[in-house]
Chain A
Amino acid sequence: MKMMSMGALAALSLGSSSCTQAQMEEFLQKRFREMTEAEKKEVIQRLEETYLRKYGKKFGISTQPAGSGVLWGYGLDLSRCIGCRRCVYACVKENNQSRINPQLQWIRVVRLKKGSLINLENAEHYYNPETVPEPGFMYMPVQCQHCENPPCVRVCPVKATWKEPDGIVVVDYNWCIGCRYCMAACPYKGRVFNWSEPNIPADELNTDVHYLGNRPRMKNVVEKCTFCVQRVRNGRYPACVEACPTGARKFGNLLDPSSEIRYLIENKRVFRLKEDLNTEPKFYYFFSA
């Protein structure tokens, strides 16, 4: 019955236009969490073929699930951040964000006058000096905080976004209907929207991707930081951690008592952004000096 009605719907919306079988399959594709292993395999194969046709490049799409006993946490040392935005551009490159029109970035670094931290109304988003850091200012990078209690997940009308067992909040780009309710619900501006077909020069594409992470997206769907799910599930650091020239960015397993992130939480004075909203971010800011 379900298949029949979906088939009818498919026929209705695509019937008149000539469409390939791949398009039809994409239209009927299930939500990632409902797929069996065999179905996942089929989808991955189709996606790899589609990407090859579209970008002329061979992609490796992983569906690697979360490891057990892992809950990822992030630390950011505000006394070390110099506001250079290297993390921003490393992220764009690693995660295949659209470069122009729209230019999407998952990390936003804001410049704050020293003396004011909580009131972001005076934050400068588009600071552009010759050199950083500038005297009298501090810098605060903000990205998806991977809340334990994520308001974006709660509001999604079709469950296209969810929290993985290792705590990463992900989006199924093929299930998102583009209503942007999650963007309205996020208190951290952690989500950005593909207002048009993403523009990425073919030679800058990262072909080492995860289905729930940095695979190329399509127009009119939402996307966000995934802590570089394609990397961290393979024992690597997120690209922003690697790119930071001052070592301000820390990453690790919150469930591992000997991890660096646990050390920081226990020994530094950490705080989380907008804690009063009870979103329980797994993104900890601290001052080492």
Chain B
Amino acid sequence: MKILVCISHVPDTTSKINFTDNNATFDPTGVQFVINPYDEFALTRAMWFKEKQGASVTVINVGNASTEPTLRKSLAIGADEAIRVNAEATDGFFVAKQIAEVAKNGNYDLILAGKESIDYNGGMVPGMIASILDYDVVTACIGLEIDGSSATIIREIDGGKETLSGSLPLVIGGQKGLVEEKDLRIPNMRGIMTARKKPLTVVESIAFQNTTTSTNFEKPVPKGACTMITSDNVDELVSLLHEEAKVI
């Protein structure tokens, strides 16, 4: 089984988000970048398929050279090889086109991605890749088993979960549940050393016009001060919620 894992390179969850150029551009100064948390679940599941079912695992990112440390980290966790499509990733549609192009040539049985990138929050790349390749897709995936060419997939739905059966090739948008938090791996020294020798191939992007463009960013308006209520005056909270906030 050949698996392609899509790795998005995003600011660490603790990052404070700032913009420059009159709020037109995200400011990476002082920001630490990591593997998108949802993609880490996908990669960890891929490692399980590698170790238990002999799968080969390729990781892919669409980005400029600054994303390479994130790909190296994925190799250190255990992926066999990495591909970077050399382009600025500014539109989900564009990213999906690039990944689908690589996937077409690579004949992957399974394409694993995260359910969304925590920076751009598009939630669109997996569905788009699948649609371009005419594969089926399941997002918000919290369980995945593969047996030969058939798959059993569990996805989260509003107010519950659904079990599906399907067959490869498939695209999956994963989240916690695909593996548990405790299964996530921190690369060890040996992993880091061998990662240096694993192939990281840079391919040029295919021409494709962006379908969307970010014009500018806006920070949420700072909140007014919190109205404090003393603990022996719970009554007041009830009336404030009713009369002032009008939420009960």
Same complex for A and B? Answer no
